[in-house]
Amino acid sequence: MGHRAVNDFNSELKHRLDAIREQNLFRELRRVDSAQGPRINIGGKIFLNFSSNDYLGLANDPILKEAAIKAIEKFGIGAGASRLICGSLTPFHQLEETLADFKRTEAALTFSTGYATAIGTIGALMGKDNIIILDKLVHASIVDAAKLSSAKLRVFAHNDLNDLEDKLKWAGKNIEHPTSNILHPKRVLIVTESIFSMDGDAAPLREIVALKEKYGAWLMVDEAHATGIIGENGCGLADELGVGGQIEIQMGTLGKALGASGGYICGSRALIDYLVNRARSFIFSTAPVPAAAAAATAAIQFLQSAEGERRQKHLRARVAEFQSQTSNRKSQIPGAIIPILIGDESKAVEAAAKLREQNIFVPAIRYPTVARGKARLRVTLSASHSTGDISTLIRALEQIVNRKS
Ligand SMILES: *Cc1c(COP(=O)(O)O)cnc(C)c1O
C-alpha cells in the first residue's frame, strides 16, 4: 500500500516517536468540547481547569465576543494579505494605539502570535555581528529567534545578575565599541521575561536595567505572563517597577491574560517603523483576523475599567488563598503560575493522570518545555476560579504530590 519512499518515511517517523515514548516525553492533543474557562468538557466529562493562561477569564467573556462579532460584521474574517500589501485594517491600528497608550510608549506593533513577534523582532534587530544574552529560562520563541538571527548567543544563569554581568563583560571584549557603520552595527541585546512562564518567578528588572545601562546593551523584556496581571491595570512588571521607559523593547502576547490572540511590541516610534520595514514575520505573513485585534482592544480597555480592576483583584485573591493554604511557601507568587516540581517525567505524567481521575486538569510539563529531570505540574490560576475551586485543587494535590517546596 502506498509508495515505498513514503512508507519508509512513515516508518522512520514511527521509530522516532517510539524513542520519544521511551523517554516518557510523548505528547498528544486532548480534544475539548467547550470554551476555555474554569471548567472544560473533555470527552463528556467536566474538568476543573488549572491549565490555561486565560488568567482573567477573558477568553470567553461577552465583552470580547461582542467586540469580535462587531468586527466580523464590519471587516469580515480574513485580512486578505500582509498589512503592507493590501492595506492595514482599522482594528489593527485601534489595537496598536490602545496598546501604546496602555504601556505608555510612543508606539506599538502587533503580530499574528507572540512567537512570531519574538522571531520577527529579534531577527530584525540582530545579525551575525551582534551578541544576544539570554536568561537560561526564557521561552522557546526567544531561543528560536536568537538562534535564527545568527547572532552569537550567551546564556546567563536564571535571574543571576553576577552571571549576567560576566556575560556583558565578555561581550564587551568580543565586540568593538558600537561603530558608526550603520550596515554593520555591533550591538549587544539582553532578553529576559518579567514573569517566567514555567517557574512563575519575577526577573530583577531594575537591576537588569542598571546593568544594561552600565554596559551599553539593549534590553528586551517579554511580559507574556505579567501583562494583565502585574501592576496598575495590569500594565506589567516594567511599569510597576518604574523602568518601562528605560527598556528599548517591550514584548508580550494578546493570547494569555488578554484572552484573544496575537503578539505585540511596544516601544519608540523609530523601533516600530523599523520593525514594519524589517520584521520578516510581520512582512511575509497574512495579517491576523481583524476580529482578534478588536477583541484584544476590548480586553485592554476592560483592564482599565473598574470591572477590570475588580477582576484583577479576584485573581490576586485566588493566588493568596492558594498560598495561604499550602505550607512552606518561601516566597510570594508574583503572578498566577504555580509550578509544582516533580522531577521525573513519568512521575509528573502520573500525577497529572491522578488529578484527572478527580476531574482536575493540570498539565504535566516536561522536556523540551523545561529541562530534563525538571518535570512539573504547572498550575495556573484564574480570576474565574472560586474559593471552593482552590480548596478542591489543594485537597487533591495533598493526596497526590508530597509537597516540599
Ligand atoms: C506564550 C509565550 C510566548 C508566545 O506567545 P503566543 O502568543 O502564545 O505565541 C512568548 N513568550 C512567552 C514568555 C510565552 O509564555
- For 322-365, what is each residue's pLDDT tens digit? 999 886 556 678 899 999 999 999 999 999 999 999 999 999 99
The strand pairing partners of 191, in sequence order, are 134, 220
> What is the 160 CA–ligand 1 centroid distance (Å)?
22
45-49 vs 131-135, strand pairing mode: unpaired
Instruction: Return the percentage of the chain with pLDDT > 70, whole number.
Output: 95
Of residues 187, 191, 142, 141, the one with CA closest to residue 164 = 191
214-269: per-residue pLDDT in tens? 999 999 999 999 999 999 999 999 999 999 999 999 999 999 999 999 999 999 99
Per-residue pLDDT band for 174 (boundaries 50, 70, 90) equals: confident
114-157: per-residue pLDDT in tens? 999 999 999 999 999 899 999 999 999 999 999 999 999 999 99
- Determine whether domain 62-303 maps to CATH 3.40.640.10: yes
* Nearest atom, ligand 1, residue 225 CA: 15
Which pLDDT score is estimated for 186?
Answer: 80
152-156 vs 188-193, strand pairing mode: unpaired
Is pTM beyond 0.85 here? yes
- For residue 404, pLDDT beyond 50: no
> What is the 115 CA–ligand 1 centroid distance (Å)?
6
32-84: per-residue pLDDT in tens? 999 999 999 999 999 999 999 999 999 999 999 999 999 999 999 999 999 99
Per-residue pLDDT band for 176 (boundaries 50, 70, 90) equals: low
276-295: per-residue pLDDT in tens? 999 999 999 999 999 999 99
Query: Which cell numbers hold the place of 166?
Result: 560576566
Positive/negative CA dihedral, 291, 297, 298, 300 = positive
Which range (9-13, 307-311, 322-326, 378-382) has the least confidence?
Answer: 322-326
What kind of fold does domain 31-55+306-402 have according to CATH?
Aspartate Aminotransferase, domain 1 (3.90.1150)
Which pLDDT score is estimated for 405?
Answer: 42
Which pLDDT score is estimated for 107?
Answer: 98
- Look at ligand 1, atom 5, and give the residue with the nearest C-alpha: 114
Which pLDDT score is estimated for 228?
Answer: 97
> What is the 72 CA–ligand 1 centroid distance (Å)?
25
- Could you tell me if the CB of 253 is within 6 A of ligand 1? yes
Task: State the catalytic residues.
Answer: 53, 139, 193, 197, 222, 225, 256
Q: How far is CA 175 from the centre of its chain?
A: 31
Domain ranges of the chain: 31-55+306-402, 62-303
- For residue 302, pLDDT beyond 80: yes
